[in-house]
């Protein structure tokens, strides 16, 4: 592949890039999305809290505030259109000290100014009636019934698949190395050839400053801000039912305790600035910090049931707000940069906003053939007995359980591999169907999943990867006897 020509080149296949891709596919234009990793949802979008924020956090008037409330409002409808998991489980911000009450009141006012509905302040006892495991230290909380939780993989992958079904071309393992301005657009050089485009959308996450700075003299600076998390077994998933935040106080910024849409318990994140843009390490200090802070909010957390810890990188821009649209000196280049929390919540609204901006610029006509619907992967475990019986009768592969912890069938894994933008790695399968996400963390199913992936894709076994080239699971040569 030497040269590709398109109207819009989207750089980055995270939740923001995929949202823009989907929204732009509502117009008649030729769209290509390039992603440097082997799959969509491989950077910041894959490792975050999965929270649909209510919208009381951001400063009124900021882009974050505007898109948060809009994004939150859109999420429910979108989850039905695109068949991904979303739940409005409510959130609360806990206050531990009388001196912090004015700050809690201020948060309430800020939320109201941002247009968040149904906010109220609860007393400590009211909080504990709703969440019996909240500690006695809590004296009050801001309660936001519109807060929710979402599967970040589900959301991103659903938008990507739908965009692809509506004509967007996706190229993976493709990293933009340089961008050159031409008379009527841009030329992007990648490790896999040249892309000639009229417009560029920069949704490169923690690398968005690098991409932006290739075309603009108004420099951006994105600091990867690492956040570590602990994920607990489903047995612990009902420890709280809403998302429990902490009001920032004299002990610093707190951590959240939340159920996930899949029923696990998630605790975190920490916040540590770093320079490396893909060093997603977890640390002993981070672990300790999470435990100590979480126990301030919620008592008796069964830390013995931690099944994994992970970390993600927030793309924090020095200006502290989203950077959206064309820089003064780079017409036709659209930034979607500095998208940190509440970026996941904002993504649907951000995508619409930027797509409209690009479409207006390019005078693209509406695509009346656009199909807004996407059907997710059928989950055997979620079906009724009768539905299960019927499905397995018709498709016996749904009767073979491969991942015993999450009860994922071979049929689901095959679907994850063979559908639009299908998985090409173990992590790709995991993000689509949760194979290996349970308590044994893929101990039992790895050998079987590797075989299914090789069988369905024709990739030789020794090249089956965890997450892209370099992460091969098996070594080529088996036997090496020295017979001398």
Partner 1 sequence: MIYHDLVIIGGGPAGLSAAVAAKESGLDDILIIERDYVLGGILNQCIHNGFGLHTFKEELTGPEYASRYIAMVKQLEIPYQLNSTVLDINKEKEITVVSSENGLETIKAKAIILAMGCRERPRGALNIPGLRPAGIYTAGTAQRLVNIEGHMVGKEVVILGSGDIGLIMARRMTLEGAKVKVVAELMPYSGGLKRNIVQCLNDFDIPLKLSHTVINIDGKKRVTGITLAEVGPDRKPIPGTEEYYSCDTLLLSCGLIPENELTKQIGASMNPVTSGPMVNDRLETDVEGIFACGNVLHVHDLVDYVSEEAALAGKNAAEYIVNEKAMTDEKETNVIKLKAENGVCYTVPQSIETSTMADKLTVRFRVADVFENRSICVYYDGKRISKKKKRVLAPGEMEQVVLLKTSLEEYPDLKEIVIRTEEES
Contact footprint for partner 1 (CB under 8 A): 231, 235, 278-284, 286-287, 306-310, 380, 385, 388-389, 392-393, 396-401, 404-405, 407, 410, 439-444, 446-447, 451, 461-462, 465-481
Comparing CB distances to partner 1, the nearer of 22 and 430 is 430
Nearer to partner 1, 345 or 425 (CB): 425
Which CB, 14 or 411, lies closer to partner 1?
411
Residue indicated by tokens 């931690």 = 306
Select from 137, 126, 145, 149 the least CA-distant residue to 51: 149
Q: Which of 53, 212, 239, 316 is catalytic?
A: 53
| Centroid of chain to Cα 253 | 22
Residue 319 or 443: which CB sits closer to partner 1? 443
Q: Smallest distance, Å, CB 406 to partner 1?
A: 11
- Do residues 160 and 45 lie in contact, with contact meaning Cβ atoms separated by under 8 Å? no
Distance of CA 264 to the CA centre of its chain: 16
Cβ closest to partner 1, residue 169 vs residue 388:
388
Residue with tokens 């207006």: 360
Q: Which is nearer to partner 1, 329 or 462 (CB)?
A: 462
Residue pair 461/470 in contact by the 8 Å Cβ criterion: no
Q: Which helix (H) or strand (E) holds 75?
A: helix 63-82
Length of the chain (residues):
484
Neighbours of 481 (CB within 10 A): 5
Angle between helices 152-165 and 426-433 (to 10 degrees): 100
Range list of H helices, 367-425: 385-394, 410-418
Q: Closest Cα to residue 11, out of 43, 34, 31, 29?
A: 34
Cα separation of 51 and 93, whole Å? 13
- Smallest separation, CB 482 to partner 1 (Å): 8
Work out how close the CB of 279 gets to partner 1 at its nearest, in angstroms, rounded to a whole number: 7
Closest CA to 438 of 375, 395, 381: 381
* Least gap, CB of 484 to partner 1 (angstroms): 14
Identify whether 239 is a catalytic site residue: no
> Residue 276: CB partners within 8 Å, gap ≥ 6?
224
- DSSP, collapsed to helix, strand or coil, labels residue 445 as coil
CB-hemisphere CA count at 13 Å for 115?
Answer: 12
Tokens 């420890």 sit at which residue?
239
Residue the block writes with tokens 């199913």? 445
Separation CA 44–CA 150 (nearest Å): 15
Q: Do residues 206 and 45 lie in contact, with contact meaning Cβ atoms separated by under 8 Å?
A: no
**Which is closer to partner 1, CB of 347 or CB of 442?**
442
If DSSP codes are grouped into helix, strand and coil, which group holds residue 141?
A: strand
User: CB atoms < 10 A from the CB of 476, how many?
Assistant: 9
Per-residue tokens: 46: 């894959």
Neighbours of 300 (CB within 10 A): 10
CB of 361 to partner 1, least distance (A): 37
Catalytic residues: 53
């Amino acid at each position: 592949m030497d040269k590709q020509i398109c109207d819009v080149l989207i750089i980055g296949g995270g939740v923001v890039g995929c949202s823009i891709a989907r929204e732009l596919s509502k117009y008649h234009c030729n769209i290509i999305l390039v992603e440097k990793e082997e799959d969509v949802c491989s950077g910041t979008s894959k490792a975050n809290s999965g929270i649909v924020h209510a919208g009381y956090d951001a400063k009124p008037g900021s882009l974050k505030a505007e898109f948060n409330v809009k994004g939150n409002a859109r999420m429910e409808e979108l989850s039905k259109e695109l068949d991904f998991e979303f739940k409005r489980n409510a959130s609360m911000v806990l206050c531990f000290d009388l001196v912090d009450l004015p700050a809690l009141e201020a948060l309430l006012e800020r939320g109201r100014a941002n247009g968040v509905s149904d906010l109220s302040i609860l007393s400590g006892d009211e909080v504990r009636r709703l969440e019996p495991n909240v500690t006695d230290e809590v004296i009050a909380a801001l309660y936001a019934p519109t807060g929710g939780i979402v599967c970040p993989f589900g959301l991103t992958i659903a938008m990507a698949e739908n965009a692809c079904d509506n004509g967007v071309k996706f190229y993976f393992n493709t990293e933009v190395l340089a961008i050159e301005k031409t008379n009527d657009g841009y030329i992007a050089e990648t490790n896999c050839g040249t892309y000639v485009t009229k417009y560029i959308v920069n949704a490169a996450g923690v690398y968005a400053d690098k991409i932006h700075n290739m075309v603009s003299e108004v420099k951006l600076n994105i600091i990867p801000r690492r956040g570590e998390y602990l994920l607990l077994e489903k047995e612990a998933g009902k420890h709280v039912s809403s998302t429990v935040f902490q009001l920032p106080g004299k002990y610093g910024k707190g951590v959240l305790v939340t159920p996930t849409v899949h029923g696990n318990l998630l605790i975190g994140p920490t916040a540590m600035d770093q320079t490396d843009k893909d060093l997603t390490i977890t640390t002993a200090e981070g672990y300790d910090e999470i435990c100590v802070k979480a126990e301030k909010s919620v008592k008796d957390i069964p830390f013995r049931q931690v099944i994994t810890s992970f970390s993600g990188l927030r793309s924090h821009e020095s200006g502290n707000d989203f950077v959206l649209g064309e820089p003064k000196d780079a017409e036709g280049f659209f930034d979607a940069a500095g998208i940190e929390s509440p970026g996941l919540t904002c993504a649907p609204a951000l995508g619409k906003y930027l797509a409209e901006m690009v479409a207006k610029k390019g005078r693209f006509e509406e695509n009346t053939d656009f199909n807004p619907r996407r059907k997710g992967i059928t989950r055997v475990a979620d079906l009724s007995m009768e539905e299960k019986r019927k499905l397995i009768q018709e498709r016996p592969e749904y009767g073979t359980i491969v991942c015993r912890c999450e009860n994922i069938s071979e049929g689901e894994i095959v679907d994850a591999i063979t559908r639009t933008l299908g998985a090409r790695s173990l992590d790709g399968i995991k993000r689509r169907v949760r194979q290996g996400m349970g308590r044994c963390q893929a101990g039992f199913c790895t050998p079987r999943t590797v075989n299914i992936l090789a069988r369905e894709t024709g990739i030789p076994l020794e090249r089956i990867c965890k997450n892209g080239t370099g992460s091969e699971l098996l070594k080529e040569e088996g036997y090496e006897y020295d017979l001398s």
